[in-house]
Chains A and B, each alone.
Chain A
Amino acid sequence: MNRFLAPVAVAATSVLAVAAVTSMAVLAAPADDSLVIDGELEMSTRVAPIEGHPLPEVISGWHYRTEDTRALQQDSFDNPGMLGVEEGEEYWNKVEGTMGKSCASCHGDASESMVGVGASYPKWSEKLGKPINVELQINHCRVENMGAEPYKFDKGGQKPLTAFIKHQSQGLPVELNLEEGEMQQWWERGKETYYRRTGQLNLSCATCHEDNNGKYIRADHLSQGNVNGFPTYRLKQSNLISLHNRFRGCIRDTRAEYPAAFSDELMGLEVYTTWRGTGLSVETPAVRQ
């Protein structure tokens, strides 16, 4: 049947091609929209870059998602990541370990004591001699102050509790202190990881998120790879996804061997990528594709 329709089909295809190119151009740009949670909390999703940043504007991954996905994050009830945050609150109050304490025993009301934590981690830890993120800080507290087992990567209360703690900083701008300890060296180390091409596909983080953000990689709209919304609710997995899980997923997709969670390589990368998002509001829990 196509044989008879061939000339018509060709004409139609070329018209479609023009239409497709036009609509792709419109789709490819980050959406012109503003993120306000529950009509109250205005979020900074487009900010001027910090000195030394290679891009002209720092844009939250929220702008790269579809209208429906963006809407989910604008209402804290519709946001399915909030289920994880509420679960995290239960872990916050749960007494565990030999010392009979919960997080709340020492830190009290998280909505007061944890404000700003999610915006300023990873921080330099003198004790560990390396940067420490929220997940490792939780484990450190569990071992040292609660006499409880540390959480294994992505297990137990690690994701929900991290989301709950970071959520207390929702709306605050990301700001790292690189002056402390050896943070500057870890930043350098992370930068080296960011620009190093790996895997059979020979991609670096920068290949997608710096050179080609705003374009499509097959059906996926590439963002700048900012990390201000982690742990993030990914619709694809219908679950909260931790930052180190996403790092590993990205590296795996370059068809490389991927480093262990919380390894020195990924901690450096966390410092560097967090720094790149300086000034963006903490969005935890963000909603992504």
Chain B
Amino acid sequence: MASKPRVKIPKSVSAGDVITIKTLIKHKMESGQRKDKEGNVIPRDIINHFEAAFNGNVVFSVDIDPAVSANPYIEFSSRISEAGTFVMKWTDDAGTVIETSKDIALKG
């Protein structure tokens, strides 16, 4: 069961600020290299792509490979010059997309 991802982002910023965005999502990140008790390979099931878009423009994206451990933590920074909405998407091997969005306002 995918639970809601955690995202830490300032609610309001001054125009031109560089902000740090932290994300954490619960996922087992099964590498595909392990075997079960019967010796069958446990199929790979990882989040293979993360993407963050601000007002529709992708500002950060990353392809993830099996070496990343469970519950991946992704941190990135972005310069914000206007108010708007961050939309973050995690895609896993099953094609499931987990999406969350956060609004940012300008100060003053």
Contact = CB atoms under 8 A, between A and B. Distances in A.
A78 B4 CA distance: 15
B62 interface: no
Given A77-B6, A77-B8, A83 B24 contact: yes
A238 B71 contact: yes
B22 interface: yes
A82 B6 contact: yes
A86 interface: yes
A86 B7 CA distance: 13
B45 to A, nearest CB: 14
B34 interface: no
Given A77-B24, A78-B22, A86 B4 contact: yes
A149 to B, nearest CB: 19
Contacts of B70: 238-239
Nearest to B8: A77
B77 interface: no
B40 interface: no
Main secondary structure of the interface of B (DSSP, over half): loop
B3 A78 contact: no
A122 to B, nearest CB: 29
Nearest to A160: B3
A87 B4 CA distance: 9
Q: How large is the interface on A (under 10, 10 to 19, 20 to 34, 35 or more residues)?
A: 10 to 19
A231 interface: no
B102 interface: no
Contacts of A90: 3
A100 to B, nearest CB: 23
Contacts of B79: none
A83 B6 contact: yes
A22 to B, nearest CB: 32
B73 interface: yes
A80 interface: yes
Interface string B49-74: 00000000000000000000111010
A83 B71 contact: yes
Interface in A67-115: 77-78, 80, 82-83, 86-87, 90
A182 B57 CA distance: 65
A239 B70 CA distance: 9
Contacts of B4: 86
A83 B71 CA distance: 9
A77 B71 CA distance: 13
B66 to A, nearest CB: 14
B3 A86 contact: yes
Contacts of B26: 83, 87
- Shortest Cβ-Cβ A-B pairs, 6 listed: A238-B70, A83-B26, A77-B8, A80-B71, A77-B22, A87-B3
14 contacts: A77-B8, A77-B24, A78-B24, A78-B73, A80-B24, A80-B71, A83-B3, A83-B6, A86-B4, A86-B6, A87-B3, A238-B70, A238-B71, A239-B70
